[in-house]
Chain A
Amino acid sequence: MSAPAPSNRSWYKRNEIAVTPWLFLIPGIAFFALYVIMPIFQSFWISFHEWDGLGEKTYVGTAHYERLFGIGDQNMDRKFETSFWNNLKWLVLYLLAIPMGLFIALFLNQTVRGIRIYKSLFFFPFVISQVVVGLVFSWFYLPREGLLNAVLGFFNLGSINILGDPTLATYGIIAAGLWPQTAYCMILYLTGLNAVDPEQVEAARLDGAKGWKMLWYVILPQLKPATFIAFVVTIIGALRSFDLISIMTNGGPFGSTRVLSFYMFEESLSEFGFRMGYGSAIATVLFFIMLGFIVYFLYSMWRDEKEAR
């Protein structure tokens, strides 16, 4: 009788199952740490300094945050306030993309001749660059030559200068953003609809369900994964809206269409910027807003996975 000699097996062999996944993860973790985690903490650090990106940093403590939120004997930074409210408008209105996407998906989820062509046409706005979308919409909105005003003029409704009016400009840009975002949600729902169980639909039909009831009680519950993803990408998309604003109004008129990401860019990297500390402070605030959503999403994904197990 001979006991297995433990010394014959190396440390790696003994721990193979536990160690190997980590070995495979090392490159990913290393780069994620270097390019994502570290910069986050560097931004925190820079936000406590006055820095023009060239010379020496000067430590100013929480002065930047005090200026942002108007702590002490100063007013809240007005540009920050506008940006924040605009971000909220984006968040709420951008969610319209989900029901609109669902509606188009339901509409397109049928087998008629050439349906693939219609589907790709509806998907088209998501494929073209956001810059192109921005340009197309800014021409559409042009006060004199634009198509929108041509149509309004045809019905004798007068003219409207959406991007030049500080109260309307943000809504104009969000409408432009909804165009590609709706297409994105539509594609998500189209794939989701493929997975809907025909037997359940059949059973519901036998029980007399149709129309809204069918949609609400039978189809939608089965589309829950698609809705979740659509929700995630729309929220993230709304928070990082930048290119459309930059193209369509450049933050104007008089700063009324700024959002946090655009304000951050303006303060730190634009032509008259290079106030890296203040820009970083804005970035930090935006980061924590996003973090709130991300934590919620991760939590609900984790919860769903646990239930599924």
Chain B
Amino acid sequence: MRSIIKASVATLAATTILAGAAFADSHGMKLSGELNITSDMSNPAPRAVMEGLAAQFDEMHPDLTVNLTIVDREAWKTQIRNSLSANAPDVVNWYAANRMGPYVNAGLFEDVSDVWADEALAGLASTKGAMTIDGKQWGVPYTYYQWGIYYREDIFKELGLSEPTTFDEEMTNCQVILDSGRKCYTIGSKFLWTAGGWFDYMNMRTNGFDFHMQLAQGEVEWTDERVRETFANWRKLIDMGAFIDDHQNYSWQEALPFMLKGEATAYLMGNFAVAPMREGGLTDDQLGFYQFPLIADVAQGEDAPTDTFHIPSGASNKDAAKAFLKFVVSPDVQSDINGGDKLGQLPVNANSTVADDKFIKKGFDMLSNNATGGVAQFFDRDFPAEMASAGMEGLQEFMVFPDNLDDILARLEETRARVYK
């Protein structure tokens, strides 16, 4: 592994090495031994980033050997349990907010509040809340990305449409799109979570961010009139036939071709969808992005899931691990790894530069200036696991059989009553 890492050092951009080295000097720490990192960044681009980070860190600390293990991202969601309890590595990947709760409560994540106390982390204030449980911080973020509506700008132009800002405009647009023989939105709900994104936005726009969070924390009944209102708004789109047919059969990737072929004109998705759409042949002139339109007069909340690094409490080289966390969030490293040619997402450090990319810039602008309601993680990260899985199943059913709503809500309410105790 070490030789692979050394070899890939040569391919790294010289500037980042210099920046990284300068950072290490300023701390003047002498790290030794081994640093074992287990990462879930298994997709091609993130994998290259992670290998680069490990190699760089290894280069900066001559006495330290960095061992990197990359695990399949989906598999890691279940493997992390075994990994943390037996022979724990020194650094692992995970997710912010409720998703890290079980490990924090079981004492498997190390308290890293002292890392956050470092003045070098002042630029991370915006994500501190998502990393805090019981007043302590349990890890650091390394990237986050916006959600929003990605649409076919060329088709909008052809039909003479402009980016909608209100739900009424959205529906008027949609009617025009439907009349032209296309569908308004593509979605693949086989793995359920994509429906969670739609619910997040419908609910945050109808009832506001705070209400959405109350629902996530189990303080509001699912049968509440306000929740019904959210579904009623959503149903307007469903009844129009705005979504592609048979979406319950597709994964989110399998739903992409509808967008690429122009059979559907928009996709409510995270920014990670941009890369496959570009690979699928869409140019930046054809692809646009707009914020989810306003429904009620409430401050806009946004979904912006954050991916993180943590130190398992059973780690053997915690000094090196903490140094690695500081290294990852430093402004230069953040600018580099979130760059357009790497992760292509948003840096967590306010002192970093945002990549010169149409969508990253728009997302950054939206989250900094236009998300006054608050920033949510995502349906399956904000809601507790059992509620999230029952919830997303109900949402998928609603999208196919909107008439079952009463039954679905009663079921979700039953789950809510049991889950939050």
> Taking CB as reference atom, which chain B residue is nearest A271?
B77
User: A75-B414, A272-B385, A272-B388 in contact; A252/B248 too (CB < 8 A)?
Assistant: yes
User: A55-B105, A252-B393, A253-B397 in contact; A274/B81 too (CB < 8 A)?
Assistant: yes
Select A254's contact among B74, B85, B397, beta carbons within 8 Å: B397
A259 to B74, alpha carbons, bound, how many Å? 23
> Is the CB of B255 closer than 8 A to any CB of chain A?
no
Which residues on the A side are within 8 Å of B394 (C-beta)?
Answer: 254
> Is the CB of A78 closer than 8 A to any CB of chain B?
yes
User: A53-B81, A54-B85 in contact; A252/B396 too (CB < 8 A)?
Assistant: yes
Decide: A250 and B78 in contact? CB cutoff 8 A.
Answer: no
> Is the CB of A163 closer than 8 A to any CB of chain B?
yes
Decide: A54 and B102 in contact? CB cutoff 8 A.
Answer: yes
Which residues on the B side are within 8 Å of A275 (C-beta)?
Answer: 386
A142 to B246, alpha carbons, bound, how many Å? 9
- B-contact 0/1 string along A156-178, CB 8 Å cutoff: 00000101100000000000000
User: A54-B85, A272-B386 in contact; A143/B380 too (CB < 8 A)?
Assistant: no
Decide: A250 and B85 in contact? CB cutoff 8 A.
Answer: no
Which residues on the B side are within 8 Å of A40 (C-beta)?
Answer: none
> Is the CB of A269 closer than 8 A to any CB of chain B?
yes
Decide: B400 and A254 in contact? CB cutoff 8 A.
Answer: yes
A266 to B393, alpha carbons, bound, how many Å? 13
> Is the CB of B228 closer than 8 A to any CB of chain A?
no
Decide: B246 and A269 in contact? CB cutoff 8 A.
Answer: no
- A-contact 0/1 string along B380-417, CB 8 Å cutoff: 10000110110001101100100000000001001000
A254 to B400, alpha carbons, bound, how many Å? 10
> Is the CB of B245 closer than 8 A to any CB of chain A?
yes
> Taking CB as reference atom, which chain A residue is nearest B385?
A272
> Is the CB of A61 closer than 8 A to any CB of chain B?
no
User: A75-B414, A270-B78, A272-B380 in contact; A254/B385 too (CB < 8 A)?
Assistant: no
Select A142's contact among B85, B249, B393, beta carbons within 8 Å: B249
10 more A-B residue pairs beyond the given contacts A142-B249, A266-B389, with a C-beta to C-beta distance below 8 A: A53-B81, A54-B106, A143-B245, A161-B246, A161-B249, A164-B400, A253-B248, A254-B394, A272-B386, A275-B386
A-B pairs with lowest CB-CB distance, top 3: A272-B389, A254-B397, A54-B106
23 contacts between A and B (CB under 8 A): A52-B102, A52-B106, A54-B106, A54-B108, A74-B414, A75-B414, A78-B411, A143-B246, A163-B249, A164-B246, A250-B191, A252-B192, A252-B248, A252-B393, A254-B393, A254-B397, A254-B400, A270-B78, A271-B385, A272-B386, A272-B388, A273-B385, A274-B102
| Interface set of A (CB-CB < 8 Å, partner B) | 52-55, 74-75, 78, 142-144, 161, 163-164, 249-250, 252-255, 266, 269-275
| Interface set of B (CB-CB < 8 Å, partner A) | 74, 77-78, 81, 85, 102-103, 105-106, 108, 190-192, 245-246, 248-249, 380, 385-386, 388-389, 393-394, 396-397, 400, 411, 414
